[in-house]
Structure formats: C-alpha cells, structure tokens
Amino acid sequence: MKYVHYLLLVFVLTPLQAALPIAVDGQQLPSLAPMLEKTTPAVVNIATRGQTRRRFQLPLPADSLFYRFFDLPSIERIQETQSLGSGVIIDSEKGYILTNNHVIKDAYEITVTLSDGRELLAEIIGRDPDTDVAVIRIPPDDLTQVPIADSSRLRVGDFVVAIGNPFGLGQTVTSGIVSALGRSGLGIESYEDFIQTDASINLGNSGGALVNLRGELVGINTAIFGNGNSGNIGIGFAIPINLAHGIMRQLIEYGEVRRGRLGAQGQNLTPQLARAFDIETKSGFIVTQIETRSPADKAGLLVGDVIVSANQRSIRTARDMYNLVGLLHIGQSIDFKLYRKGEEINLTAVIQPIEVPVVDGSEFNRILAGAKIGEIRESSLEKGLVTYLKVIEVEVDLNAWEAGIRKDDIFHSVNKQLIRTLDEAAEAFANNRRGMILNIQRGDRELYLLINKD
C-alpha cells in the first residue's frame, strides 16, 4: 500500500480441538463463504518488474551559471524495481483488469496470477496517475469477472469485504464497514473522492476489490492512513467503482483520460467574507475569475458568486470544487446552487474540452520553424489559473531542432521579456529580430538558448 511500510507479525495458533457447528438450534450460522466462492476468482495477484530512470547533474554548485547558459549533460542511472499488488477482472470476455496506477508504474513486465494458480503476462491499456487508476489486459481464457454495484448508493455503516494480496502472502479476505464517504483533501492523489473503511487493508492490497455482501464491486482498494512506523489502524481508502469504471472506459477508448474544464477560479468562503457578502452560509466557493467563452462564462457564472452546492453535493472549499470538476467527463453537466448579492440562484454548466491553441514556431521566427508551440492553461489549488507556452512537438532536423528546441520545453522569456501567451511571444520575437536569448525550462532545470538572427 502506498506510502506505508509494515512489520509483519506471524502468530502460531494451536489447532482447535473441535470444528464449529454449521447450525445452532436448527438455524444455520451466517457465513461469507458462499459469496466469496463466486467473487474471489475475479481478484488477481499482480507482480511487476520495472525500471526507474534518475538523472544526476555533473558535480557543480547548484547555482552554477554553467547550468543556465549551457545544456550540460547529465548522468542517467537505471534502477530495477519490483512491486506486488492486486487487480480485479472487470471484463472476462476481453481480459480487462482494473488496478492502481502505482502498482504497475514503470513496469516493463507484469505477471498476473489467477486464483487457480495460472500465471499470465499482461499488457498496459492505459494509466491515470491523477486518480491512481490503471487498466491492464490478459488473454481472455476461462476468466471470471466480478459484478459491479452502484457505489453512489453506499451508506455509512454498510458492510464491505476487502480482497487482495497483502504482503505477497496470497489471496486474503478481510471485512468491515463503510466508515465514511467522499473523503478528499488527503494529499494521496490529485483528485480524491474516497470510500473510507475499517476493513483491514495492507501492503499488497492496492488494486484489490472492495465488495458488498452480495459480492458486487463497490471500490478499488488504494491506500491506508498511517506512516512508516504504523501498520493498519482501521482507516483504509478505496476509489468508488463509479469513478474507477468511468476512468476505465476512457482508458480503453482513448488510452488516456480526457478531462474538461469549467473556467472558473475561486477561493474558500470564510465567516468574515460571508458577513461581507451578506449570506448566512459559513462555507463555500467564491468565484474570483471567469475565463472568457469558458463553460462557466456561458453558464452565466459571475465573479463574486458564492457556490454552496454542485450536483447536490455540498461545496465547502476550493478543494471540493477542484475535485468535482476534475472527476467529471467532457459533456457532463454541473447543477450549481449559489448566492449572488444575497439571492439564491440555480445555474447549469457543461464541462467542455480543454482547448490548446497551437502555432508553428515559424510564425515567430524562421529559426523556430518545425516546433509546434501550444498555449497551456492549467488550474490548481495552489496557483490558480496558470498560462504558459510549451513545445508540443518538434520535427527532427528542422530549424527549431537544430537550434536546440526539444519537445516539452517550456518558454519563460526572450531577452528577459516574459512570454506566457502566444500573443506575448509574437510581440517579444518581433521586437528582437537581431538575435536573442531564449530562457526555457527543461524538466526540473532552466537553461538559455541563443537564437540567431533572422
């Protein structure tokens, strides 16, 4: 399980002298065995072999000017990795398995072990690090799939069962209840909407099944609460299957998750701001910025609106809003309840694709021909709306490539003139026809490139 190390204690128990009766006074004792006999064949063990690449700079001072003015080479080291986890067969006819992204991250070989002992090699269909969901596929030969429940109907107190491969011991079953729903703000993933359970989840349970007492899949086990010195303390988290299955469909269809945008930025409502806005609610999301022609703009949202619920879910913080938008698919709608100048209003917005304007670098300068440069807009809780220029593609052996421009380079400035949009870039390059120094970010470091005159 992510972020947590464990100490495994093995207890030796003396054998029971007599088996428990199957019935008392004619009443059969309750057992999960019949349900598990149908469900456990759909839960698999996953073992991976992978490689991580780490780059080390030459032994120069961290603030050395050499890093800024020259593209100095770095030393790359490859480290072999291994991991253990679990997965759930969702489609037996096509061999699709749901698991966690962190289980198969950096893997070049994935071995799936079925409950009947068969070992099969798997291929990666798609991964979504932002929600920690991944889809892999094995040959669809005599597989069993688990039925899927509607996780939106879960209630706190419902009994659940976790099935996985803790500590690599083999398939293991634990039980508990749903302790809480809609957990977020944990810092585990970018987008969070977890089921919390006290069913014991341990290292290796990642990607395993959380099922109800009918054997229907309600979640994908993902993480536990704790630190490196603690074991399981009865606080585990699972991704709701409604969310995981939606991500899975996109990964199968596109190989990636295509998220949309709302186009509204904001901040938390505080009691002090609530008094200033003359509204009774003490929490919510205050809209501070609206992008022109964005879904928020088209829906009629205005700066100063205080959103208190969306799709019948309470919006108490900016994190709630960020999660809700990030977990919706393109084309889905959001029904807002908000306050505007003390009056309650209802609006509906439709999530739209994130459009990236792209131009060829030759529009700025002949030496940049062959580089496709995009204007990227990103929203985050920490920085709000951020706009920057990124190299989407570079054709080898054309001018931009020969000048040292590479895919994923981020442009910062031209001769100390900041450039964040395509319009700013056009102006900056037009004013520097005699040659210029381009400041870019490549990976986790900055460097300068000399751009020759036209």
Residues marked as catalytic: 102, 132, 206
3-state per-residue secondary structure call for the chain: CCCCCCCCCCCCCCCCCCCCCCEECCEECCCCHHHHHHHHHHEEEEEEEEEEEEEEECCCCCCCHHHHHCCCCEEEEEEEEEEEEEEEEEECCCCEEEEEHHHHCCEEEEEEECCCCCEEEEEEEEEECCCCEEEEECCCCCCCCCCECCHHHCCCCCEEEEEECHHHCCCEEEEEEEEEEEECCCCCCCCCCEEEECCCCCCCCCCCEEECCCCCEEEEEEEECCCCCCCCCCCEEEEEHHHHHHHHHHHHHHCCCCEEECCEEEEECCHHHHHHCCCCCCCCEEEEEECCCCHHHHHCCCCCCEEEEECCEECCCHHHHHHHHHCCECCCEEEEEEEECCEEEEEEEECEECCCCEEEHHHCCHHHCCEEEEEEEEEECCCEEEEEEEEEEECCCCHHHHCCCCCCCEEEEECCEECCCHHHHHHHHHCCCCCEEEEEEECCEEEEEEECCC
Closest to 368 (Cα-Cα) out of 309, 259, 450, 286: 450
Closest to 316 (Cα-Cα) out of 257, 266, 241: 266
Q: How distant, in Å, are the alpha carbons of 27, 151, 164, 176, 193 from that of 159?
A: 22, 13, 17, 6, 19
Record the tokens describing residue 424, joined without a space: 């700013």
Q: Please tell me the distance from the alpha carbon of residue 449 to that of residue 410, in angstroms, as a whole number.
A: 12
Contacts of 253 (CB under 8 A, 6+ apart): none
Q: Please tell me the distance from the alpha carbon of residue 183 to that of residue 70, in angstroms, as a whole number.
A: 47
Handedness of CA 438, 443, 446, 448 (dihedral sign): negative
